[in-house]
Amino acid sequence: MDNVTHALAGLLLADATVSYVQRRIGRASPMGAEAPSLARFRRAAVVLGIAAAEFPDADLVYSGPMVAMGKLGYLLHHRGHTHTVVWALVSAVVLWWATRWWWQRGLKGRERADASSAIVSRVGARALFMLALVGTLSHLALDFTNSYGVHPFWPFDNRWYYGDAVFIVEPWLMVVAIPPLAWGPRGIAGRVLLLLALVAILALCWFAGQVSPPVALGITIMSLVGMLLQRAVSAAARPLTGIAAWVVVTIMFFLSSVQARAVVTELVNDGSLRDVVLTPAAADPRCFSAMVVTSTSTEYRVTTATVAPWSSGLNAAGCLSTGSGAGRNTLGALPGTSPSVPFAASPAVAWGETWAVPRAEFVALAATRCEFAAAMRFMRTPVWSLDASGMAIVTDARFGVGGGGFAGLSVAPGTGCPLTGKWIPPWVPPRADVLAPGR
């Protein structure tokens, strides 16, 4: 997910933590008085919530430059070891310790001796640890929801896991998070920043070309309704309502993703199906872009499609005509691409084009070119072209085709391996099912 969404998740968790501690103080303090240290605790919780929710992306510091593999290093190490449960546990302890030290260090002697402050210190320390842990795990959970994937169970399980359900910059998540945060325990500057963020999100929905006008109108109306409703909600309940709405939105997209996969699986029923890569239209779970990976004993194929999981209301042709952003993935002029698709038609699926090569070529490239084999530890929908000199331009079709794209690599022929001695992570290749059937 994008870093704004991660930050909003961390803020919601921080506000929920502060609300919990306030309730505990109210029950434990005879006069129900607010501890002098509570304001500093709020600041500590906000900083910790955002830091924990963003911390797994610390791999951006070393993925690429420090592993001396350039773009390939980024592909292999971003969402790598820092996006694991092991890292979440370790980093939660470190972040919790640092935050607790900063929080306690800032309290004056009289505040430390205050009875209410003692309650805050005792209850808040435990609450901050849970915030650090849940905040870090929230990053893994959010990154799982899209088609990029994570492998959270290293070193016990090195496989990739993909949610294929939520757009990587999902407007609905931001729209349900900002109203309870804007009405929460914020200063003027914080409220203004959140409201400006909401305006920016709505502007992007209307003008970026990724969201259809009817959906953009729905998001705009719901954001205004959310702001009005949150004003009437109690301060203690606001973060919980935001978290609950976030969960509801996520479940809605996952239900549509499951249905979209079932629709495709029903049509590709010849035993060749290996994977269905799904990306929903921004803010619209009625429409998905799909890349369908199939293979036989002799051929490897990637087929594009637009899928309408609930086609009784809006079919695939309707998705293509709404301007929602679904169905725009294309294999372009990649050699081996054909408009012919070997699967049955359906109102729920509008097939695009198929790229096909001999499976033996795939196996040979992975066996003879170490950079190609290393890239396969990341690439879920690998496609490539070979020029007259034998140079392979390989990329992951999830992110466009061509060597200049986000995942595009140029792999030269040769017997040497420029990656000898480099830090190659142990991730199981997503297409191990094609390279070594039966694994």
Q: Is the pLDDT of residue 36 over 60?
A: no
Q: How many whole angstroms separate alpha carbon 401 and alpha carbon 288?
A: 19
Average pLDDT, the chain: 89
Q: How many whole angstroms separate alpha carbon 40 and alpha carbon 112?
A: 12
Q: How many whole angstroms separate alpha carbon 433 and alpha carbon 276?
A: 13
Alpha helices in 78-170 (DSSP H): 85-105, 109-113, 115-144
Q: Is the pLDDT of residue 354 over 80?
A: yes
Residue 412, number of CB atoms within 10 A of its CB: 12
**Coil, helix or strand at residue 392:** strand
When pLDDT is averaged across residues 80-107 and rounded to a whole number, the result is 90
Tens of pLDDT along 132-154? Answer: 999 999 999 999 999 999 999 99
Q: Is the pLDDT of residue 254 over 80?
A: yes
pLDDT at 93: 96
| Helix-then-strand count for the chain, H and E | 14, 8
Tens of pLDDT along 152-191? Answer: 999 999 999 999 999 999 999 999 999 999 998 888 999 9
pLDDT at 185: 85
Residue with tokens 């729209």: 175
Is residue 294 within 8 A of residue 351, CB to CB? The reply is: no
Q: Is the pLDDT of residue 310 over 70?
A: yes
When pLDDT is averaged across residues 252-281 and rounded to a whole number, the result is 96
For the ranges 34-48, 71-85, 307-321, 412-426, the lowest mean pLDDT is seen at: 34-48
End-to-end CA gap in the chain: 30
What predicted TM-score, i.e. pTM, was given to this entire model?
0.92
Q: Is the pLDDT of residue 38 over 60?
A: yes
Q: Is the pLDDT of residue 194 over 50?
A: yes
Q: pLDDT tier at 115 (50, 70, 90 boundaries)? A: very low
CA 438 to chain centre: 29
Q: How many whole angstroms separate alpha carbon 332 and alpha carbon 337?
A: 8
pLDDT at 221: 97
For the ranges 14-18, 186-190, 293-297, 363-367, the lowest mean pLDDT is seen at: 186-190
When pLDDT is averaged across residues 286-311 and rounded to a whole number, the result is 95
The full DSSP string for 57-93 is: GGGGGTTTTTTT-HHHHHHHHTTSGGGSHHHHHHHHH
Q: Is the pLDDT of residue 117 over 80?
A: no
pLDDT at 31: 36
Q: How many whole angstroms separate alpha carbon 404 and alpha carbon 380?
A: 18
Q: Is the pLDDT of residue 75 over 50?
A: yes
When pLDDT is averaged across residues 290-300 and rounded to a whole number, the result is 96
pLDDT at 350: 93
Give the sheet arrangement for strand 409-411, strand by strand.
382-386, 392-396, 409-411
pLDDT at 439: 47
pLDDT at 24: 79
